[in-house]
């Protein structure tokens, strides 16, 4: 199947179909699917379009600038109220911003064009390695670009004229990479603009597509595929494991202070609520109580017996059970991050290896 | 796979929320329900008179508080064609200087005459920032009564601040300049040749201004000042910047030192030296212009001498106190114990103690000298610092309860803090970039409190736009409670800098209603229509004209020739309040006259073309105001048309022809 023969579909339809249907025709293992090819084309076009829009914007507000000032970073120039901002920055001795001072603005449009071209080519070439290379290079480019942007902000925010009218000791004027920061009387908001959102979307879609392609080829379980976006989501919602404060935090189940640093567990709900436990015995009892339904549980972490205090995902932890294991609440299970560390203790205690799923379902 | 879809959807939604949720929020700041506090019902009087400097308008405007209603613009240093100020023959001398007639200036600060540290309501004072002068306004007439020029000064910014019994007005020069006989020196020789001066201007019983003495000081920029009061009476405090002594790119070069100075002047000590004959008389030229209410005419004179005291030689007059980063405001609190310095670029507000300062002087706790004047140790004179008050502190006023209100230009806010504890109590935003602020009586020993008025530099989106140039504005905040509360915005004349307010009762009942015609000693007065006449003196034609509702006398004049200088001396015969008459001549290269009841004003007119010229009353005086008009016939230069004039009857009266 080549692109021309595809019925005209909207992007979402393509995505929906792509996600729903099992991939039934794996004819050429070294080739990408036709859906991936369409996505490549769409992403390539989107990248081309992004050339017209600013990638990033820094909004500045101050009491006397109720209308705000904005710096827009296009692929080829700095736009917005550059002159006004330069005029204000001279008080604090910041160098003036000029498009021609940045080699990036010369290179960036070409780079983006090349990535767009790469995308079109990967649809034509169809080769999996070609597609993967594209995605990898593009993702790397994104990371490098952000590092470069940070370096640039740091440089301008820190290298100030020592003879400036206003010198506040210890004060730097580096805008935030992303988010908000107060700089004297100015509030600085740094966020992607249209081009930047196109970039992010393209990056995200390509990475997901690449993973799906990889899964199609390798037949990996869908759970693993979900790992990546889920991880992203977890981080964006700030629901990753919170360290247990030993000697301070209370076990949610037995209400005792968590103190043995070799044992303990943590459960995070889909709403980001965190429950802490001092022993596997307690978390298992809690799970069995039925207070929480399985879908409400976003993640479970266990303390690594060998590394102490370190929380590791329960799903991937290596568990052993034996009477020689003495948890604080008479639990008989210990968790390990690595198989090697588990094995040494397993022999010592003559314990039996178990999996988290087994333990939970028992 | 459903889970995957959900995940993707969540990612997209999260991104969308980020896009919309993290944008800066637009400005808000509308008054919420306190507007009634600023409401003064039609026909009711305001509680305070608010005298506001006009900045580059050169004038002083008078508003009511708390309504913000504009009552009058008093012409001071700039000509005002509307009132004939600087156009009538009587007012022209008021704007004379040693440089000749100067039609404009920049009025920044206001002060009021005081008795025992309280506003007494007699006079208001203003400074001219460009061509250094001070002006006295008579609060009975709301007119400029006297203007005194300042020699050895340039940019009279640190002025016209006053002592608590109106002994002196001060005038500190913003620009230091070469002083003495040789003034043609390289600009780069600032450090060697440039000097700053501070003039102490004595105020007589009738308000007469006279330079008592000048202090010759190192070349710096004097910025603002306040007199001591109560225990510190006898002292005066001046902020100064550019202790770097830069003469170019001051924005950078005068911002290098961590501390500039507040100059403390013991003027009682200076008086002793003056009495002992330690002053040096210097030959200079400066104008002194005074209004005479009897003749309704200003007198201009040039004075040629000033007495200078050199504090580097005459010890114990002056002391410098270090003050962080380019101090601007220098304000003494109502008790007279605390002096607040506001470094424009400083991160703290230092508050100095007069007692500690005196002790530091007694103990000689000095950190060297600057220009021959001892520099008192900063900590030795310091009461304490207000920490993290805001950005860009400028000026401080006080209420009667021991609180200070400081304006912050950069962070655009007023911050209320306690003078003793130095704790910040409250802050409110201003719209936008406040300069001065003013509490009624807030610079005296007796503040009335109640309001603080912010005078802002930028208005941006606060009013309907009027092209590139927008109005400046004032904002009134109610300070009677713990929290300051914005109750009104109002636009102002020119650019307001400092302003002052006093209870209406101090002025209201003393306000003059008319000038008594029988007391009019104007040399060209006509105290009735019978005295109306036209007199030729060579090329000069003097018209003794009267105006009363609703005619001029005479209103028909013939025999004026091209090239004559015609002087219309118009006397308003009315003796009733609020009946001014105006006077204007077609094609006159001049303004109008606006003549108050009982007053005589003169319009000079040099007709250049033959014709009949209409004259008329410009101030709507009566039902038949439109009938209040007349004609002047202008004949060719060599014409023999006789000089005649009349009103009401046909046939001309013969003119006096004294032809000298």
8 A C-beta contact, residue B548 and residue B555: no
**Three-state DSSP state, A236:** helix
The count of other CB atoms within 10 Å of the CB of residue B637 is 10
**pLDDT confidence band for A359 (50 / 70 / 90):** confident
Question: B385: closest CA among B435, B421, B431?
Answer: B421
Please indicate whether, in this complex, the C-beta atoms of B255 and A233 are within 8 angstroms of each other: no
Exposed (0-12), middle (13-18) or buried (19+): which is B451, by Cβ within 10 Å? buried
Exposed (0-12), middle (13-18) or buried (19+): which is B453, by Cβ within 10 Å? buried
A18 φ, ψ to 5°?
Answer: -60, -40
In this structure, of A301-305, A342-346, B294-298, B400-404, the range with the lowest mean pLDDT score is A342-346
pLDDT tens per residue, range A179-235: 998 888 888 999 999 999 999 999 999 999 998 888 888 765 555 555 555 444 444
Residues of A within 8 A of B429 (CB-CB) are 63
Q: What is the pLDDT of residue B3?
A: 46
The answer on pLDDT for A9 being more than 50 is no
Among B14, B22, B433, the residue with its CB nearest the CB of A180 is B22
Please indicate whether, in this complex, the C-beta atoms of B22 and A236 are within 8 angstroms of each other: no
Q: What is the pLDDT of residue A105?
A: 94
Please indicate whether, in this complex, the C-beta atoms of A64 and B412 are within 8 angstroms of each other: yes
| Section A46-63 average pLDDT | 93
Portion 320-359 of B in contact with A at CB < 8 A? 345, 347
Q: What is the pLDDT of residue A285?
A: 85
| Section B264-293 average pLDDT | 97
pLDDT tens per residue, range B48-89: 999 999 999 999 999 999 999 999 999 999 999 999 999 999
Q: Which DSSP string corresponds to B418-483?
A: ETTT--EEEEEE-SS-EEEEE-TTTTSSS---SEEEEEES--GGGS---SS---EEEEEEE-SSSS
| Section B114-120 average pLDDT | 97
- Counting residues of chain B whose pLDDT is more than 70, the rounded percentage is 93
- Counting residues of chain A whose pLDDT is more than 90, the rounded percentage is 37
Widest Cα–Cα separation across chain A: 74
Q: What is the pLDDT of residue B639?
A: 95
Candidates A14, A165, A180, A190, partner chain B, best to mutate (most B CBs within 10 A): A165
In whole angstroms, give the CA distance from residue B76 to residue B86.
10
8 A C-beta contact, residue A36 and residue A3: no
Please indicate whether, in this complex, the C-beta atoms of B14 and A67 are within 8 angstroms of each other: no
Among B11, B26, B431, the residue with its CB nearest the CB of A232 is B11
Q: What is the pLDDT of residue A2?
A: 38
The count of other CB atoms within 10 Å of the CB of residue A362 is 8
Please indicate whether, in this complex, the C-beta atoms of A63 and B413 are within 8 angstroms of each other: yes
The minimum CA-CA distance between A167 and chain B, rounded to whole Å, is 8
Alpha carbons within 13 angstroms on the beta-carbon side of residue B259 total 19
Residues of chain A with a CB closer than 8 angstroms to some CB in chain B:
15-16, 19-20, 59, 61-64, 66-68, 163-166, 168, 179-180, 184-185, 187, 189, 191-192, 197, 200-201, 204, 208, 222, 225-226, 229-230, 232-233, 236-237
Residue with tokens 């370190």: A310
In whole angstroms, give the CA distance from residue B509 to residue B488.
27
pLDDT tens per residue, range A241-270: 888 888 888 888 887 888 888 899 998 887
Please indicate whether, in this complex, the C-beta atoms of B4 and A226 are within 8 angstroms of each other: yes
Among B22, B252, B391, the residue with its CB nearest the CB of A185 is B391
Number of inter-chain CB pairs under 8 A, A vs B:
92
B468 touches chain A (CB under 8 A): no
Q: What is the pLDDT of residue B155?
A: 93
Which chain B residue is nearest to residue A167, measuring alpha carbons? B345
**pLDDT confidence band for A27 (50 / 70 / 90):** very low
Q: What is the pLDDT of residue A233?
A: 46
Question: B247: closest CA among B181, B175, B171?
Answer: B175
B250 touches chain A (CB under 8 A): no
The tokens describing A231, both together, are: 């991880």
The minimum CA-CA distance between B295 and chain A, rounded to whole Å, is 50
The per-residue b/e assignment along A10-41, b for 16 or more CB within 10 angstroms, e otherwise, is eeeebbeebeeeeeeeeeeeebbbbbbbbbbb
The answer on pLDDT for B445 being more than 70 is yes
Please indicate whether, in this complex, the C-beta atoms of B458 and A64 are within 8 angstroms of each other: yes
Give the helix/strand (H/E) hosting A118.
helix A104-125
Residues of B within 8 A of A68 (CB-CB) are 24, 26
pLDDT tens per residue, range B512-571: 999 999 999 999 999 999 999 999 999 999 999 999 999 999 999 999 999 999 999 999
Residue with tokens 């250049």: B608
Please indicate whether, in this complex, the C-beta atoms of A64 and B7 are within 8 angstroms of each other: no
Please indicate whether, in this complex, the C-beta atoms of A66 and B461 are within 8 angstroms of each other: yes
ipTM: 0.73
Q: What is the pLDDT of residue B173?
A: 97
The answer on pLDDT for A348 being more than 90 is no
- Counting residues of chain B whose pLDDT is more than 90, the rounded percentage is 89
Exposed (0-12), middle (13-18) or buried (19+): which is B646, by Cβ within 10 Å? middle
**pLDDT confidence band for B307 (50 / 70 / 90):** very high
Question: A254: closest CA among A280, A226, A217, A290?
Answer: A280
**Three-state DSSP state, B500:** strand
| Section A115-130 average pLDDT | 91
The tokens describing B574, both together, are: 């009315």
In whole angstroms, give the CA distance from residue B581 to residue B617.
6
User: What angle do helix axes A34-50 and A194-218 make, rounded to 10 degrees?
Assistant: 160
Please indicate whether, in this complex, the C-beta atoms of A204 and B23 are within 8 angstroms of each other: no
Residues of A within 8 A of B19 (CB-CB) are 191-192, 197
Residue with tokens 């693993």: A224
8 A C-beta contact, residue A75 and residue A50: yes
Q: What is the pLDDT of residue A206?
A: 93
Give the helix/strand (H/E) hosting B227.
strand B221-227
pLDDT tens per residue, range B188-243: 999 999 999 999 999 999 999 999 999 999 999 999 999 999 999 999 999 999 99
Widest Cα–Cα separation across chain B: 117
Residues of A within 8 A of B256 (CB-CB) are 163
DSSP state of A127: B
The pairing of beta strand B581-585 with beta strand B611-616: antiparallel
The per-residue b/e assignment along B411-447, b for 16 or more CB within 10 angstroms, e otherwise, is bbbbbbbebeebebebbbbbbbbbbbbbbbbbbbbbb
Please indicate whether, in this complex, the C-beta atoms of A233 and B7 are within 8 angstroms of each other: yes
Q: Which residue has the higher pLDDT, B266 or B658?
A: B266
The answer on pLDDT for B26 being more than 80 is no
Beta bridge partner(s), residue A277: A265
The answer on pLDDT for B658 being more than 60 is no
| Section B615-642 average pLDDT | 96
User: What angle do helix axes A128-158 and A34-50 make, rounded to 10 degrees?
Assistant: 30
**Three-state DSSP state, B94:** helix
Residues of B within 8 A of A225 (CB-CB) are 4
Look at chain A and count its residues.
362
In whole angstroms, give the CA distance from residue B449 to residue A64.
27
B24 φ, ψ to 5°?
Answer: -65, 145
**pLDDT confidence band for A296 (50 / 70 / 90):** confident
CATH assignment of B525-657, given 2.60.40.420, 3.40.50.1100, 1.10.275.10, 3.40.50.12780? Answer: 2.60.40.420
The pairing of beta strand A333-336 with beta strand B373-376: unpaired
pLDDT tens per residue, range B570-612: 999 999 999 999 999 999 999 999 999 999 999 999 999 999 9
Residues 6+ apart with CB under 8 A from B585: B568, B603, B605, B613, B614, B615, B632
**pLDDT confidence band for B288 (50 / 70 / 90):** very high
The minimum CA-CA distance between B458 and chain A, rounded to whole Å, is 7
In whole angstroms, give the CA distance from residue B354 to residue B228.
9
Mean pLDDT of chain A: 82
Please indicate whether, in this complex, the C-beta atoms of A168 and B347 are within 8 angstroms of each other: yes
User: What angle do helix axes A34-50 and A11-20 make, rounded to 10 degrees?
Assistant: 140
Which chain B residue is nearest to residue A191, measuring alpha carbons? B19
CA separation, residue A293 to residues A240, A270, A289, B6, B327 (Å)? 20, 11, 10, 18, 67
Question: Global pTM?
Answer: 0.79
The answer on pLDDT for A109 being more than 80 is yes
Please indicate whether, in this complex, the C-beta atoms of B432 and A197 are within 8 angstroms of each other: no
Q: What is the pLDDT of residue A226?
A: 53
| Section A295-317 average pLDDT | 87
| Section B495-524 average pLDDT | 97
DSSP H stretches of helix in A126-261? 128-158, 194-218, 222-236
Residues of A within 8 A of B4 (CB-CB) are 19, 222, 225-226, 229
Residue with tokens 């990056």: A203
Q: What is the pLDDT of residue A219?
A: 66
The tokens describing B271, both together, are: 């008086």
CATH assignment of B42-510, given 3.40.50.300, 1.10.10.10, 2.40.70.10, 2.130.10.10? Answer: 2.130.10.10
The tokens describing A297, both together, are: 């549980």
Q: What is the pLDDT of residue B650?
A: 61
**Three-state DSSP state, B50:** strand
B411 touches chain A (CB under 8 A): yes
| Section B178-184 average pLDDT | 91
Please indicate whether, in this complex, the C-beta atoms of B412 and A63 are within 8 angstroms of each other: yes
Beta bridge partner(s), residue A293: none
Please indicate whether, in this complex, the C-beta atoms of B412 and A163 are within 8 angstroms of each other: no
Mean pLDDT of chain B: 93
Beta bridge partner(s), residue A283: none
Residues of B within 8 A of A237 (CB-CB) are 14
Which chain B residue is nearest to residue A62, measuring alpha carbons? B411
In whole angstroms, give the CA distance from residue A124 to residue A32.
10
Look at chain B and count its residues.
660
Please indicate whether, in this complex, the C-beta atoms of A226 and B347 are within 8 angstroms of each other: no
pLDDT tens per residue, range B446-493: 999 999 999 999 998 899 999 999 999 999 999 999 999 999 999 999
Q: What is the pLDDT of residue A249?
A: 83
8 A C-beta contact, residue B630 and residue B570: no
DSSP state of A94: P
Residues 6+ apart with CB under 8 A from A81: A69, A70, A71
Which chain A residue is nearest to residue B17, measuring alpha carbons? A236
CA separation, residue B266 to residues A29, A217, B236, B335 (Å)? 97, 93, 7, 18
DSSP tally for chain B: helices H, then strands E: 6, 47
Residues of A within 8 A of B252 (CB-CB) are 163-165
Report the range out of A155-169, A330-344, B303-317 with the highest average pLDDT. Answer: B303-317
Residues 6+ apart with CB under 8 A from B532: B526, B544, B545, B546, B553, B554, B645, B647
Portion 23-52 of B in contact with A at CB < 8 A? 23-27
The tokens describing A215, both together, are: 């899964």
Residues 6+ apart with CB under 8 A from B606: B563, B564, B565, B566, B589
CA separation, residue B588 to residues B93, B605, B608, B620 (Å)? 20, 6, 9, 21
Residues of B within 8 A of A67 (CB-CB) are 27, 460-461
Among A15, A165, A229, the residue with its CB nearest the CB of B11 is A229
The pairing of beta strand B70-74 with beta strand B48-53: unpaired
Domain boundaries, chain B: 42-510, 525-657
The answer on pLDDT for B23 being more than 90 is no
**pLDDT confidence band for B659 (50 / 70 / 90):** very low
């Amino acid at each position: 199947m080549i692109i021309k023969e595809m019925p005209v579909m909207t992007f979402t339809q393509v995505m929906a179909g792509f996600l729903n249907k099992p991939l039934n025709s794996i004819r050429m293992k070294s080739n990408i699917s036709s859906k991936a090819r369409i996505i490549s084309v769409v992403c390539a076009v989107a990248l081309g379009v992004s050339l017209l829009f600013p990638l990033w914007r820094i909004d500045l507000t101050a009491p006397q600038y109720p209308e705000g000032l904005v710096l827009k970073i296009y692929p080829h120039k700095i736009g917005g109220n550059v002159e006004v901002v330069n005029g204000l920055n001279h008080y604090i001795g910041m160098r003036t911003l000029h498009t021609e001072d940045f080699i990036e603005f010369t290179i960036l449009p070409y780079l983006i064009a090349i990535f767009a071209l790469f995308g079109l080519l990967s649809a034509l070439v169809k080769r999996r390695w070609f597609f993967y290379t594209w995605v990898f290079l593009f993702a790397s480019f994104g990371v490098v670009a952000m590092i470069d942007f940070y370096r640039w902000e740091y440089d301008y925010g820190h290298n100030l004229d020592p003879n400036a009218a206003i010198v506040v000791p210890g004060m730097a004027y580096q805008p935030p990479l992303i988010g908000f920061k107060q700089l004297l009387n100015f509030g600085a908001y740094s966020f992607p603009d249209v081009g930047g959102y196109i970039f992010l979307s393209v990056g995200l879609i390509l990475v997901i597509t690449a993973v799906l392609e990889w899964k199609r080829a390798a037949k990996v379980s869908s759970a693993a595929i979900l790992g990546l976006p889920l991880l992203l989501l977890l981080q964006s919602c700030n629901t990753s494991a919170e360290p247990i404060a030993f000697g301070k935090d209370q076990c949610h189940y037995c209400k005792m202070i968590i103190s043995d640093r070799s044992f303990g567990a943590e459960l995070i709900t889909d709403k980001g609520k965190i429950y802490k436990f001092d022993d596997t015995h307690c978390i298992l009892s809690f799970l069995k109580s039925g207070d929480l339904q399985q879908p409400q549980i976003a993640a479970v972490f266990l303390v690594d017996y060998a590394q102490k205090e370190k929380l590791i995902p329960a799903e991937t932890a290596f568990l052993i059970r034996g009477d020689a294991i003495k948890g604080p609440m008479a639990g008989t299970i210990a968790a390990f991050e690595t198989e090697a560390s588990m094995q040494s203790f397993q022999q010592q205690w003559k314990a039996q290896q178990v999996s988290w799923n087994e333990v939970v379902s028992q | 796979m459903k889970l995957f879809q959900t995940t993707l959807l969540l990612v997209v939604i999260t991104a969308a929320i980020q896009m919309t949720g993290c944008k800066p929020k637009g400005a808000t700041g509308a008054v919420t329900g306190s507007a009634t506090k600023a409401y003064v019902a039609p026909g009711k009087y305001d509680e305070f008179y608010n005298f506001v400097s006009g900045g580059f308008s050169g004038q002083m405007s008078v508003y009511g508080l708390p309504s913000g209603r504009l009552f009058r613009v008093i012409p001071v240093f700039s000509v005002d064609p509307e009132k004939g100020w600087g156009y009538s023959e009587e007012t022209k001398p008021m704007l004379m200087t040693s440089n000749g007639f100067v039609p404009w200036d920049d009025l920044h600060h206001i002060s009021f005459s005081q008795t025992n540290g309280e506003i007494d309501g007699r006079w208001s004072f203003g400074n001219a920032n460009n061509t250094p002068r001070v002006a006295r306004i008579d609060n009975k007439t709301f007119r400029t009564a006297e203007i005194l020029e300042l020699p050895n000064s340039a940019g009279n910014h640190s002025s016209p601040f006053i002592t608590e019994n109106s002994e002196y007005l001060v005038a500190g020069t913003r620009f230091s300049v070469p002083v003495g006989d040789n003034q043609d020196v390289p600009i780069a020789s600032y450090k060697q040749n440039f000097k700053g001066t501070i003039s102490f201007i004595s105020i007589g019983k009738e308000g007469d201004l006279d330079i008592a003495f000048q202090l010759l000081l190192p070349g710096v920029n004097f910025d603002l000042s306040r007199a001591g009061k109560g225990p510190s009476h006898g002292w005066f405090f001046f902020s100064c910047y550019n202790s770097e002594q830069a003469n170019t790119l001051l924005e950078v070069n005068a911002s290098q030192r961590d501390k500039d100075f507040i100059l403390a002047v013991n003027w009682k000590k200076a008086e002793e030296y003056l009495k002992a004959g330690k002053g040096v008389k210097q030959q200079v030229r400066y104008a002194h212009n005074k209004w005479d209410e009897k003749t309704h005419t200003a007198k201009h004179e040039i004075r040629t001498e000033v007495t200078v005291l050199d504090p580097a030689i005459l010890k114990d007059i002056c002391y410098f106190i270090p003050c962080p980063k380019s101090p601007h405001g220098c304000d003494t609190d109502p008790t007279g114990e605390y002096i607040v310095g506001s470094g424009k670029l400083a991160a703290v507000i230092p508050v100095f103690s007069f007692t500690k300062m005196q002790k530091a002087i007694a103990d000689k706790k000095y950190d060297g000298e600057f220009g021959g004047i001892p520099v008192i140790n900063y900590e030795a004179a310091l009461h304490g610092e207000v920490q993290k008050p805001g950005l860009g502190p400028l000026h401080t006023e006080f209420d009667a309860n021991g609180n200070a209100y400081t304006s912050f230009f950069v962070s655009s806010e007023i911050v209320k803090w306690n003078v003793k504890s130095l704790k910040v109590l409250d802050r409110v935003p201003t719209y936008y970039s406040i300069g001065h602020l003013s509490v009624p009586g807030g610079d005296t020993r007796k503040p009335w409190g109640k309001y603080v008025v912010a005078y802002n530099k930028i208005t941006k989106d606060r009013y309907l736009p009027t092209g590139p140039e927008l109005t400046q504005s004032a904002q009134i905040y109610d300070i009677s409670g713990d929290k300051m509360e914005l109750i009104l915005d109002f636009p102002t004349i020119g650019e307001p800098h400092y302003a002052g307010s006093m209870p209406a009762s101090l002025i209201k009942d003393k306000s003059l209603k008319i000038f008594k015609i029988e007391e009019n000693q104007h040399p060209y007065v006509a105290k009735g229509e019978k005295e109306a006449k036209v007199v030729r003196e060579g090329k000069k034609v003097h018209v003794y004209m009267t105006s009363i509702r609703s005619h001029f006398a005479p209103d028909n004049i013939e025999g004026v020739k091209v090239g004559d200088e015609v002087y219309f001396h118009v006397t308003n015969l009315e003796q009733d309040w609020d009946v001014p008459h105006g006077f204007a001549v077609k094609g006159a290269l001049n303004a109008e006259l606006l003549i108050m009841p009982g007053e005589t004003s003169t319009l000079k007119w040099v007709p250049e073309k033959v014709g009949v010229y209409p004259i008329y009353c410009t101030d709507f005086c009566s039902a038949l105001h439109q009938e209040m008009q007349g004609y002047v016939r202008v004949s060719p230069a060599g014409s023999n048309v006789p000089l005649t004039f009349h009103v009401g009857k046909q046939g001309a009266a013969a003119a006096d022809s004294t032809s000298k």
